[in-house]
Structure 1
Amino acid sequence: MNKSKLNSTGSARREFIQKTSLASGAILTSPFAIEAMSMVHNEKTLKLALVGCGGRGSGAAVQALTADENVELVAMADAFQDRLEGSLQMIQEHFEDEKIIEVKSENRFVGFDAYKKAIELADVVILATPPGFRPYHFEYAVSQEKHVFMEKPLATGPAGIRRVLKAAKVAKEKKLNVVVGLQRHYESKYIDLFDKVQNGAIGKITAGQVYWNSPGVWVRKRLPEQTELEYQMRNWYYFNWLCGDHILEQHIHNIDVANWFIGDYPVSAQGMGGRQVRTGKDHGEIFDHHFVEFTYASGAVVSSQCRHQPNCMNRVDEVFQGSKGSLELGKAIITDLDGNVTYKYPRRSDQDPNPYQVEHDRLFASIRNNEVISDAENGAKSTLTAILGRMATYTGQEITMEEALHSKLNLVPENMNWDTTPPTLPDSEGNYVIPTPGVTKFI
């Protein structure tokens, strides 16, 4: 976890007074000044539970505890004791000179059902386990009437998406706040440029390119004492039931921006992909590159590429072409049809409030002010968009969004325990079945 993402100052929060624009379908409260937060901080203590104690969960807990002066971390849950204890230590060290963070030993829950015990003790929950478990955790949090911050993506398969969408509807009815970790929606630069596009700066979007090309992420080697299930849980990034492939786990950010700026979700996708570099046994079953064309009802086509291969061009960005000009979000510029710059966002990103922090500032201010943020529906639909892209690259077929939503694919077993057989298993030599375009079938 990049520690800079954990830090935010009061002045940064006070500076962030712009309207937060969410994608279609979300409920958005009226704009407000962050200064107003100081008037509500001294109300009752809000009890916080952390479910999923990895780096992102630990960082989100720090941000939640920073967002509001009267929040107390009362419960933690993880599948593994060592991860939970390491997370608590990191959070305590972060606040060493500011506040005391204590979670009672009896409120540190370990195991597959640990999330229920932690959620029941809280007013606000952070859901940051591997995304395969997110639908079950979100569903339970909503049933217990808790406000939620949950990391993206929201599921790894269509069955999970259907579960999230159902729970999202209930959350709206109960007026629960739900913020999803697609933090570009809370980033000043993106909000400003989105408003420019909405006001016609590039005309109608006709095409786009979105990228997450990087060397890749961590790998956790198998240890002799591990069961197959523990190994996959520890090395979760490389198994689809837990992660959903990197087109989903990382590239969802850029795909979501395409949906947001176009104002719609694609009707179909086709693409290609495979694994050429990341081919070891510890790389599980996922691809190391994907290229997808997403087609929207308007006729716009967005080309999506993500790659985890070292020593190659790296780019994380979104670019759109319209009837009047173009937008490059990485450079934060708008150009006309002749390539002349007509607008440039006036600040560097490091001069703006940290969007990872702003997510939590907005969440807690909304709770305090009896307002509602509803990110879950868009989060689910952008998650489904990335799943659609994975389905297209794995099968080599053109697949519609409706087909993906109603797919019978169900990756995550219900009611798991440590005796559960993982849904994917290696052969006698330790190799996993790799999806093969033209052979792998759409289910």
Structure 2
Amino acid sequence: MNPSDPSRRQFLTAAGATAAVTAFPAVLRAQNASNNAILKIGLIGCGGRGTGAASQALSADPNVKLWAIGDAFASQITASLNNLSKFGGKVEVPEARQFSGLDAYQKVIDSGVDVVILTAPPGFRPLHLRAAVDAGKHAFCEKPMAVDVAGVKSVVESAKLAKQKGTTIQHGFCWRFSPNTREGYGKVTSGELGRVISVYGTYLASVPKPSTAIDQRNPEWGDVEWQIRNWMGHGWLSGGPLVEQGIHTVDKIAWAMGDVAPIAARGSGGRAQRDDDGSVWDHYDVAFEYPGGVICHIGQRQFKGAFSEVVDRVYCEKGTLEAPSRVLTKDPAGKVTWAFRDQPENMYQVEHNEWFAAIRAGKELNAGEYMANSTMLGLLAREAAQTGQRITWEEMWQANQDLAPDKVNFGDKLPVPPVPVPGVYKLV
């Protein structure tokens, strides 16, 4: 955001106001006569996940072009375009439509694109989504959709506006698109395995490498630029590892529970191995309380030299579902009763295939409310652990938490907040 731009806080506050609704996108009106209109894609945030998402979008439909690209850093743009050059004429991004800087997102949106892929650090996601919806663009939102309560509330308002405008919002909770995982969870949500008794999900991983090592900080970089270059270590940009990475497991807990609202959460965790200059924790253990006395537990950590595992165990009256690397069910005695045998499709490709199919058909696809709820569930887990308190679902939605600075420019000073201490740290 430039100094002359509205502040983030002003922007998120305005997101709750009634907005003028523009007409249904011209590209979809044109498809009533011809379903072969070229869809111009804008990529906002072109690191590894963004480049991957652009690749899947370009593979999802024969009549698409990558039209514009934007990132905080020009070097990311060059690397991304080199990677995407394999698509030949589907990549039509001259230098005039390559935008760098913190205002690149708006320039991409204003460049004449029809759809946008939002894969910048998640702290910017609510801002980017609202700008895309205001402009009448279809949007793909990578997970998580926000890092704080203010951001989640903004996503809810953007989703409402997108419904009024008739534009689509697709989500990046990729396991919901995995055919084998879908089939396995279908056995839970259909009641085939009986009532869910409890869930234990793990996301036990290694420490992610920062994009730039601490001792490589250029003295010319301000705090904001440095933190964006190492965004996973800073809560206002990533939300911390439980929200940024473990959100997949959180979302699958929600899936197993039929996406009903939880009652509350409690948990613990801390910062044991992380050696960056941020203040996010590196391990969490959280229990969610659900109606009917069901307790769902997530264990998440990023440790060096430790056991790694990403497994969902959904315990039901008549058996257990295990996913996602091997998707199978077991009876109460532990005997395998079903296993997915087919070759699963690439879930990242499926999410884009379904998105573009909906756009072409003019079908409603708006995952905004669901995106907000699963993201808030991750925030509930994080806040329960970091405060050391039992926090209810209602208390989370009533909170005023806003982690981001009001305005950001690369050269700004931005002190790193202290590491959260349970019993001291508060949910605002």
TM-score (norm 1): 0.84
1:186 aligned residue (177, 193, 202): 177
Asked whether the 8 Å contact 1:41–1:69 carries over to 2, the reply is no
Q: 400, 404, 426: which one pairs with 1:408?
A: 400
CA shift for structure 1 position 358 = 0.8
Preserved contact between residue 76 and residue 108 of structure 1 (Cα < 8 Å): yes
Cα displacement (A) at 1:414: 4.1
Which residue matches 1:101?
91
The question of whether the paired residues in 1 share the 8 Å contact of 2:202 and 2:310 is answered with yes
Distance 2:263 2:412 in 1: 36
Question: Which residue in the other structure is 1:239 paired with?
Answer: 234
Deviations 1:206-258 (A, max 9, x none): 10101110112112222333211111010000000000000000111011011
Which residue of structure 1 lines up, in the alignment, with residue 373 of structure 2?
A: 381
CA displacement at 1:313 relative to structure 2: 1.4
CA contact (8 A) 1:157 1:410 kept: yes
Instruction: Return 5+ residue gaps in structure 2 as ranges.
Output: 1-32
User: 1:207 pairs with 198, 206, 228, which one?
Assistant: 198
Distance 1:437 1:405, change over 3 A: same
Q: 1:239 corresponds to which letter in structure 2?
A: H
Q: Distance in 2 between matches of 1:307 and 1:375?
A: 28
**Which residue of structure 1 lines up, in the alignment, with residue 58 of structure 2?**
65
Distance 1:111 1:49, change over 3 A: same
In structure 2, the residue matched to 1:364 is 356
Distance 2:190 2:231 in 1: 42
Count of paired positions: 389
Are the equivalent residues in 2 in contact too, given 1:142–1:171 (CA < 8 A)? Answer: yes
- What is the RMSD computed on CA atoms of the aligned residues? 1.7
Question: Which sections of structure 1, spanning at least 5 residues, go unmatched?
Answer: 1-39, 427-431
Do 2:224 and 2:409's aligned partners in 1 also have CA atoms closer than 8 Å?
A: no
Distance 1:250 1:337 in 2: 31
Pair 1:114 & 2:109 matched:
no
315 and 102 in structure 1: CA distance in 2 versus 1, 3 angstrom threshold: same
Deviations 1:291-345 (A, max 9, x none): 0001112321111010100221111111111122211114312122222222222
| Aligned-pair CA distance for 1:42 | 6.4
Letter in 1 for 2:404: V
Secondary structure at 1:209 match in 2: strand
Query: What is the alpha-carbon distance in structure 1 between the residues aligned to residue 230 and residue 34 of structure 2?
Result: 40
Q: Does 1:329 align with 2:319?
A: no
Partner amino acid for 2:273?
Answer: V
* Other structure's SS at 2:153 match: helix
Q: How does 1:243-282 map to 2 (within 5 A)?
A: 243-263=238-258, 264-278=260-274, 280=275, 282=276
In 2, Cα distance between equivalents of 1:312 and 1:124: 41
> 100-109 or 320-329, which moves further after superposition?
100-109
The residue identity in structure 1 corresponding to 2:44 is V
Distance 1:256 1:196 in 2: 17
Distance (whole Å) between structure 1 residues aligned to residue 329 and residue 47 of structure 2: 38
User: What is the CA-CA distance between 1:265 and the residue it aligns to?
Assistant: 2.9
**Paired letter, 1:143:** D
Deviation at 1:411, TM superposition (A): 1.0
Letter in 1 for 2:74: Q
Moved more, 329-338 or 317-326: 329-338
What is the identity, as a one-letter code, of the residue corresponding to 1:277? Q
The SS at the match of 2:203 is: strand
Contact 2:223 2:411 in 1 (8 A): no
Contact 2:287 2:297 in 1 (8 A): yes
**Could you tell me how far 1:107 is from its partner in structure 2?**
1.2
1:442 paired residue number: 427
Aligned match for 1:230, one of 211, 221, 225 = 225
Tell me if 1:159 matches 2:159.
no
| Structure 2 SS opposite 1:231 | helix
Contact persistence 1:202–1:336 (CA under 8 A): no
Separation of aligned partners in 2, 1:198 and 1:386: 21
Tell me what 1:352 maps to: 344
Aligned-pair distance for 1:283?
4.5
Q: Distance in 1 between matches of 2:264 and 2:190?
A: 27
Could you say which residue in structure 1 is the equivalent of 2:12?
A: none
CA distance in 2, matches of 1:267, 1:287: 24
Kindly provide the CA deviation profile for residues 129-154 of structure 1, in whole angstroms up to 9, marking residues without a partner as x: 00000001001111111111110000
Determine the structure 1 residue equivalent to 2:282.
288
For 1:436 and 1:75, locate their aligned partners in 2 and report how far apart those are by CA, in whole Å: 43
Of the candidates 82, 96, 101, which is equivalent to residue 75 of structure 2? 82
SS at the partner of 1:258? helix
1:306 pairs with 285, 300, 306, which one?
300
The TM-score, its normalising length taken from structure 2, stands at 0.87
Alignment pair present for 1:297 and 2:291: yes
Give yes or no for contact 1:270–1:396 (8 Å, CA) kept in 2.
yes
Structure 1 counterpart of 2:221, one-letter code: Q
Q: Distance in 1 between matches of 2:247 and 2:348?
A: 16
Cα distance between partner residues in 2 of 1:187 and 1:100? 26
Equivalent of residue 338 in structure 1, options 320, 333, 346? 333
Query: Which letter does structure 2 place at the counterpart of 1:225?
Result: E
Aligned partner of residue 103 in structure 1, secondary structure:
coil
What CA distance in whole angstroms lies between the structure 2 residues aligned with 1:199 and 1:238? 39
2:376 is matched by which residue type in structure 1?
L
Deviations 1:249-292 (A, max 9, x none): 011101101101211132211000001111x2x24101111000
- TM-aligned CA deviation for residue 161 of structure 1: 0.3
Q: Aligned to 2:115, which of 116, 119, 124?
A: 124
Q: Which amino acid aligns with 2:125?
A: R
AA aligned to 2:344 is D
Tell me, what secondary structure is at the counterpart of 1:304?
strand
